Structure 1
Amino acid sequence: MAWEVFSFIGTAAFAISGALIALEEQYDLFGVYILGMVTAFGGGAIRNVLIGAPVSVLWDQNFLFIVATISILIIFFFSKMLLTHWNRWGTYFDAVGLAAFAIQGAMLAVKYEKSLFAIMVAAVLTGAGGGVVRDVLAGRKPLIFQKDIYAVWAAVAGLLVGLGLHKIDIALYILLIVTTMLRMLSYRFHWRLPQGPK
């Protein structure tokens, strides 16, 4: 059950995140749809290739494609109201997507009996991969390469899942909330990792 919940949350959140950026860049309906879909499924596709999951895993997710499509259409038709609050809404949806997909990606890697390091990598790729593709296509500097702490939270979530948290559903939901909050706090207060000498 947890797998379906995290897949649903991550797909909807990242589809909305991608659609909001496309609207801010003044894309037409088709462009909004494509960027939303790429954001929602890009990270999972990259992860599947690297951990050896069948390609068909992506194309068999008919329900999630419907979820993404509905989410994108809702955002498109309410775009004028949402774009005035982009910084708040866009960052929020991106944080939720990062957390949900990091946990989901780690759970899939556990299912395939990967090492702890591979589980963490799967969490980062799933949580941040779609956003990277989204930002590159939109001509923006990817969030993962900006100063505020971003992908580290996905790696931490993957670590905890790999250490056994995947066995307790309620713990995964708590991890979702905590990871989302940490990402939002790092954005709000500009938490940064140490940088090399300039």
Structure 2
Amino acid sequence: MTWEVFSIIGTIAFAISGAIVAMEEEYDILGVYILGIVTAFGGGAVRNLLIGVPISSLWEQGMLFQVALVAMTTVFLFPNNLLKHWRKWGNFFDAIGLAAFAIQGALFATGMNHPISAVVVAAVLTGSGGGIIRDLLAGRRPLVLRAEIYAAWAILAGLIIGFGIASSPVQLYILFVGIVSLRVLSYTYKWRLPNRSLQSAA
């Protein structure tokens, strides 16, 4: 049940995030649906390929596709005067999707008895894979590749679940709130990982 809840939360959040990015780039309605679907399901598809789950299992998630379509249609039909305020919430929905899917991916891998390394990889790919594909299709530099902390929170979620620190539904929901909060804090206060530029050396 917990796995299903995080799947629904992540699907709605990333579908909305993809739709908002598509409208910011002035895509038509087909572009909005395509970018939203890719954002919502791209990370899970990549994860399935790498941890040995048949890619065909993606097409068995009919209910989630319907949830994503409803979420994207709702956002697309929002009045312009309200939507301009929703656009600034794109990062927030992205944070929700990151947390929900990172936890879902880690649970998926632990359920298949994969080692901790695979659990972390599953968390990162599920949490950030859809966003990476979305940003590339929208012609943007992927969030996960920026100095601003992003994928590190998915790694944290994978480690906590992989080591069994959080396993009960209550603990997982607390972890979800914690990861969302950390992601929001990181882009609000511009927390950054160490980086090195070669521009000055040129």
Secondary structure (helix, strand or coil) at the match of 2:41 reads: helix
Is 1:175 equivalent to 2:148 in the alignment? no
Is 1:83 equivalent to 2:84 in the alignment? yes
CA distance in 2, matches of 1:61, 1:165: 29
Within 5 A, what are the aligned runs for 1:1-198? 1-78=1-78, 80=80, 81-87=82-88, 89-165=89-165, 167-196=167-196, 198=198
Deviation >4 Å, runs of 4+:
none
CA distance in 1, matches of 2:79, 2:95: 20
The unaligned stretches of length 5 or more in structure 1 are: none
- Amino acid corresponding to residue 156 of structure 1 in structure 2: L
CA distance in 2, matches of 1:53, 1:172: 23
Question: Contact (CA 8 Å) 1:23, 1:79: kept in 2 or not?
Answer: no
How far residue 112 of structure 1 moved from its aligned partner, in angstroms, is: 1.3
Residues 36-70 of structure 1 show CA distances to partners (whole Å, capped at 9, x for unaligned) of 00000000000000000122221100110000000
CA distance in 2, matches of 1:65, 1:49: 19
CA distance in 2, matches of 1:92, 1:79: 20
Q: Please provide the CA RMSD for this pair.
A: 1.1
Question: Contact (CA 8 Å) 2:147, 2:195: kept in 1 or not?
Answer: no
How far residue 84 of structure 1 moved from its aligned partner, in angstroms, is: 3.6
- Amino acid corresponding to residue 86 of structure 1 in structure 2: R
- Amino acid corresponding to residue 123 of structure 1 in structure 2: A
How far residue 197 of structure 1 moved from its aligned partner, in angstroms, is: 6.0
CA distance in 1, matches of 2:36, 2:79: 14
Deviates more, 1:163-172 or 1:18-27: 163-172
Query: Structure 1 length normalisation: TM-score?
Result: 0.96
Count residues with an aligned counterpart.
197
How far residue 79 of structure 1 moved from its aligned partner, in angstroms, is: 5.6
CA distance in 1, matches of 2:179, 2:167: 18
Secondary structure (helix, strand or coil) at the match of 2:176 reads: helix
Identity %: 56
Larger radius of gyration: 2
Secondary structure (helix, strand or coil) at the match of 1:167 reads: coil
Residues 155-194 of structure 1 show CA distances to partners (whole Å, capped at 9, x for unaligned) of 0001101111453110000000000000000000010111
Deviates more, 1:168-177 or 1:71-80: 71-80
Secondary structure (helix, strand or coil) at the match of 1:42 reads: helix
How far residue 85 of structure 1 moved from its aligned partner, in angstroms, is: 4.1
